[in-house]
Amino acid sequence: MNAKKIFLSLGLAVFLTGLAAQQPGSRAEIGEHAMKRLTGGKHDDMVLYFTSNSVLADDRRMIFIRTIDGCNNLWLLDMETGEEKQVTYFTDRSPNELFFHQFHQNDFKAIYIASVVLHGKTEMIYFIKDRKLWRFNVNGNGRVLAHLPEKTDIGQCHVNEQGTKLVMSTVEDRMFDAGSNFDRAAREMNISSRLLVYDTDNGDLLLDEVVHGAYVDHVQFSPVDDRLILYNHEWASDQGIRRMWIFDGRQHIRLRTEGEGRSRKDGVVHETWERETGHLIYHGDYTDGTRYIGRIVFDDPHDATRYTITEIPLPPECKKYGHFSVSNGHMLVSDGHFVLPGEKASWGGEWISLFMPDWEKKTVEVKPLCRHRSSWTCQEVHPHPVFNHAASAVIFTSDFEGRRAVYKVDIE
């Protein structure tokens, strides 16, 4: 069927060479593209979680997280000169490496790295540490905005386009004492999550919305209407129809439905807003194992009740785990999915690749840029690629040189 034909452009892949070890500022050629290490390589560095862009509005500077002996701090990097400047000077350490999904996070006093979010225009950084919401500017001036609820675990944070509101999710931490099936525990024990919205100037609590019987995470304001908050039911057993939700200030709207080839047994992950349109991008896999990318287009970007779902099956060459992130246009970047013929089987992908979907024709062009060669051993080393604001480069994390570092690959 023409609607399901996928056009795969190998682009630069035919010119692939091995990836050489790099010095700061050096380049390792891969076809016509080169990835450049941006951070020093002596410590463990990483980009922010992909729902927050790490790059400031000037597209020259970025914020990254550096971990030294279990202590997390924020640093400012000039991507042109390589100059690094420390922003926070905390000394609290975690008793062990603090993984994204290591629960009871608030038992530790180090910066919770999954919570760090940057507002590029105002150059303000927000994060959770020691059960407190902190705000810092890039010059290192910061303070506590709010104290967070006890006996809860904190998820990701997100700031609206204006930089005036921050949303976070919480869930009762007794859920993590009930075994590994968190979704079942949340429903059977009627465990509640909450959507909390804070004023980023004075720390006032603007919204406290309870979501019963669910583990809520991945909260994100719509870029065109901050009344709309996207969130998920993490690890939902029937994620094909229960993963993605929107709270519009009055009601909770479940998004993906069954029908037209969609099933409640499908996998759905990594939902995110398109930056300019107020539509949604997500991806997953069908019950037969075929991977796909999906898009939800709202009839009115201020009304989440009326929308159209379009999904594009990916070709057999796209079969490894990874994330998708959006640019200012309709181009996507992934750290997984694409596989060269003959590449060894593994769970996570090895490539930073561009995906250019045509949602009307249900086709997608794929262009591999470079091998990131991350080990995928934990969330901290997942590449989590993001575009800069001009969509002229991709920033990501990899540990292929032995330590986590931040890398950049330019786009022609």
Instruction: List, for residues 96-115, the tens digit of each pLDDT value.
Output: 554 444 456 555 688 988 89
pLDDT score, position 95: 57
| Cβ–Cβ < 8 Å for 273, 222 | yes
Residue spans of alpha helices (H) in 142-256: 182-188, 239-242
Greatest Cα-to-Cα distance within the chain, rounded to the nearest angstrom: 59
Q: Could you give the CA distance from residue 319 to residue 292 in angstroms, rounded to a whole number? A: 10
pLDDT score of 8 more than 70: no
Give the position of tokens 């790099």: 22
| Cβ–Cβ < 8 Å for 364, 338 | no
**What sign does the dihedral 214-217-222-227 (CA atoms) show?**
positive
pLDDT score of 200 more than 90: yes
| Cβ–Cβ < 8 Å for 52, 66 | no
pLDDT score, position 25: 34
pLDDT score, position 107: 58
How confident is the model over 140-194, as pLDDT tens digits?
999 999 999 888 888 889 999 999 999 999 999 888 887 778 899 999 999 999 9
pLDDT score, position 110: 87
pLDDT score, position 9: 38
pLDDT score, position 31: 38
Least confident of 169-178, 277-286, 299-308: 169-178
> Where residue 64 falls among pLDDT bands split at 50, 70, 90?
very high
Q: Could you give the CA distance from residue 411 to residue 213 in angstroms, rounded to a whole number? A: 44
Mean pLDDT over 88-101 rounds to 69
| Total residues belonging to the chain | 412
Strand ranges across the sheet with 363-371: 324-326, 332-334, 351-358, 363-371
pLDDT score, position 410: 96
pLDDT score, position 30: 37
First to last CA, the chain: 33
Least confident of 15-29, 59-73, 343-357: 15-29
> Where residue 2 falls among pLDDT bands split at 50, 70, 90?
very low
| Cβ–Cβ < 8 Å for 209, 228 | no
Q: Which residue has the higher pLDDT, 39 or 26?
A: 39
Token output for 109 = 């006093």
| Cβ–Cβ < 8 Å for 371, 346 | no
